[in-house]
Amino acid sequence: MSTGIHYDEEWSQRIVQIYSTPDVVAQREAVLSTLDLQQGEYVLDIGSGPGLLAHDIAKAVGQTGMVRGIDISDAMVALSEERCSNLPFAEFQVADAAKMPYSNDEFDVAVSTQVYEYVKDVSASLNELYRVLRPGGRALILDTDWETLIWNTSDQERMKRILAAFEEHCSHPRLPRILAPKLRETGFSIQRQDVFPLFNPKYHTDTYSHGVIDFIASFVSGKGDIAPRIIKEWAEDLRDLGKRDEYFFGINRYLFLVAKPVAGKRFGKTQGN
């Protein structure tokens, strides 16, 4: 995938910590429940990251199934391989979502969480997803609309500056708003659309928002005219609000479950649901 972020080994480990919080664990459980995986299915994880979801998928499909994961980051692929080292039917490689190294109609199921918002050419990537999915196969896509982020702050203007700079971390910060028509244009039938909120009404180390503070601070450092002092004050303010029990964070992620037509005929713009 072509994204605005490349994770080194240190940040890959931090991402594992964020993905291990109850917030994101609950998201993974929702994804797995929606996919309703069966023993023996062949599954593709696009943007497999540190392999947490792929590991759960592998347990669900069993030894008669297969899991393949791709990611643009060497460090992430290494983490996935380590996590799934005892699962020989799970394999990972560095590859791009817009040009995947798989045959036509190869997978029963595909999943992509927090990926397409980072991909420059979404249409090309969705066409690749359609190509590698077998007729009758299903795919789950989950992405964030970053404008839904709500964060209590003592300085609203400073928060706006920080978040505006942070929007550069992905190519399509509001992708969910236009994803349904793009999926229909690709040929998919949309089976389900849903929202998955991440909500932290308290400041706690074991939450998604706690981990993302340093992530945002690191990314916006050196962006535009935001001085390091401003970034430090922004982060300290959030932690101070937590100490005063005035913390509040929420953001929405949107889930799309789609199917590839059994006959292989694309639905197109006028036939989606």
Count the helix, strand and coil residues of the chain and give each as a percent rounded to the nearest 5.
Answer: 45, 25, 35
Q: In a structure prediction context, what are the per-residue pLDDT tens digits for the chain, which is 273 residues long?
A: 334 455 566 777 888 999 999 999 999 999 999 999 999 999 999 999 999 999 999 999 999 999 999 999 999 999 999 999 999 999 999 999 999 999 999 999 999 999 999 999 999 999 999 999 999 999 999 999 999 999 999 999 999 999 999 999 999 999 999 999 999 999 999 999 999 999 999 999 999 999 999 999 999 998 878 999 999 999 999 999 999 999 999 999 999 999 999 974 555 543 333
Is 45 among the domain residues?
A: yes
In order of 100, 116, 255, the CA distances from 183 in angstroms are 18, 12, 12
Q: How many domains would you assign to the chain?
A: 1
Is 87 among the domain residues?
A: yes
d(CA 209, CA 50): 19
Give long-range contacts, CB 8 A cutoff, 24+ apart: 57-62: 57/32, 57/111, 58/84, 58/87, 58/89, 58/90, 59/87, 60/32, 61/37, 61/89
Q: Which residues pair with 99 in a beta bridge?
A: 96
Is 150 among the domain residues?
A: no
pTM: 0.91
Is 110 among the domain residues?
A: yes
CATH number at residue 91: 3.40.50.150
Is 161 among the domain residues?
A: no
Is 213 among the domain residues?
A: no
Is 190 among the domain residues?
A: yes
Identify the three-state secondary structure at position 236: helix
Is 220 among the domain residues?
A: no
Q: Would you tell me how many other CB atoms lie within 10 Å of the CB of residue 99?
A: 10
Q: Which domain holds residue 134?
A: 9-145+170-198+252-271
